[in-house]
A and B are shown apart, each in its own frame.
Chain A
Amino acid sequence: EAGVTQSPTHLIKTRGQQATLRCSPISGHTSVYWYQQALGLGLQFLLWYDEGEERNRGNFPPRFSGRQFPNYSSELNVNALELEDSALYLCASSDWRGGHNEQFFGPGTRLTVL
């Protein structure tokens, strides 16, 4: 069974640009979560998508947004990039509707903002 996949592995952008990160959940999982792992700040919850809708978001500005597609894959968009957005962005999926609340993580996308 394929795990959670993310693309790209690395992404280099300049300040002010937009970044788009992609995530494919485990087959059968309807929920996708995004986390930011920045140096010194630890792992922080960003967004939760389920059944195509945003269900919850963490304490991040609106320039962090995303969507979930009908096949449950997801996209995270970061607009007006700032230097402090440099981080590892992790995607996770779960099958909570099936009674399984564990979140399984992808390998991450390393975003570097210059």
Chain B
Amino acid sequence: AQTVTQSQPEMSVQEAETVTLSCTYDTSESNYYLFWYKQPPSRQMILVIRQEAYKQQNATENRFSVNFQKAAKSFSLKISDSQLGDTAMYFCAFMKLKGGADGLTFGKGTHLIIQP
């Protein structure tokens, strides 16, 4: 079974600062995907970024980028130039690929607060 660990229950930074959220995972699978999801107070889960395990290049989406270290089973999210609207719960998620897309395994989440 897979496990996903987010060791920072809560983080708080000033607007415009850069913040990095940590995520580690454990799996025996070789083919999988990793995701970061954002859940603002509205409760709607929003996909932030995805990374395929077979790709060495780190994914980026505008102000969001990841540092994927496959050997270390680490998948951190960096948010540059943080904005008030980035305040939310952030979940790291793992999905194995075996005959199709499977259910996601989530970490417990990090509550990110952007201070004005």
Contacts and interface: CB of A to CB of B under 8 A. Distances in A.
Instruction: Classify the secondary structure of A's interface with B.
Output: strand
Interface residues of A, number: 27
B105 interface: yes
Interface residues of B, number: 23
Contacts of B47: 102-105
Interface of A: 31, 33, 35, 42-46, 48, 50, 55-56, 58, 88, 90, 92, 94, 96-97, 101-108
Given A33-B103, A94-B101, A102-B35, A42 B45 contact: no
Nearest to A95: B101
B105 A45 contact: yes
Nearest to A90: B45
A42 B109 contact: yes
Contacts of B100: 31, 50, 55, 96-97
